[in-house]
Amino acid sequence: MASGGKILWKMRPMAERIATYREFWPFYLQEHAQPGTRTIHFIGTGLAIAAILVGILSGNGWFFLLAVFAGYGPAWVAHTFVEHNRPLTFWYPLWSLYSDFRMTWVWLTGRLGGELAKAGVEPR
């Protein structure tokens, strides 16, 4: 994708497919190196969780559809305009979804800095 001659997503070669989740997690964190990307992800994940809870409590199934857009929409915007890479959802949909929740959890529990350091992500 390009906008005014600027490449919005860095393309990753898919010949080097990641085989295990243990390998995927550090890669996922590297693809979320910018604090702005992570912040937007946290907002989207929070909105998705809220929509799911409202859907359960109200019995209105439309909130589950809203949860999909609330979770993925902000994340894809962040990858396009902040991180400038392609969301991992396109190649690793389940690991990526799980990692969104995992990253939010380790952030909420104060362990994200350590996980980023282990993945080789420089503090910003």
DSSP 50-86: HHHHHHHHH--THHHHHHHHHHHHHHHHHIIIII-B-
Helix ranges (H only) for the chain are 21-30, 35-58, 62-78, 93-108, 112-118
Two structure tokens written together for 7:
């490449």
Q: What is the pLDDT of residues 13-44, one digit of tens each?
A: 544 789 999 999 999 999 999 999 999 999 99
pLDDT mean over 82-111: 94
Kindly tell me if the per-residue pLDDT of 116 is higher than 80.
yes
Are 99 and 28 in contact, with CB atoms under 8 Å apart?
yes
Q: How long a stretch of residues is the chain?
A: 124
Q: What is the pLDDT of residues 100-110, one digit of tens each?
A: 999 999 999 99
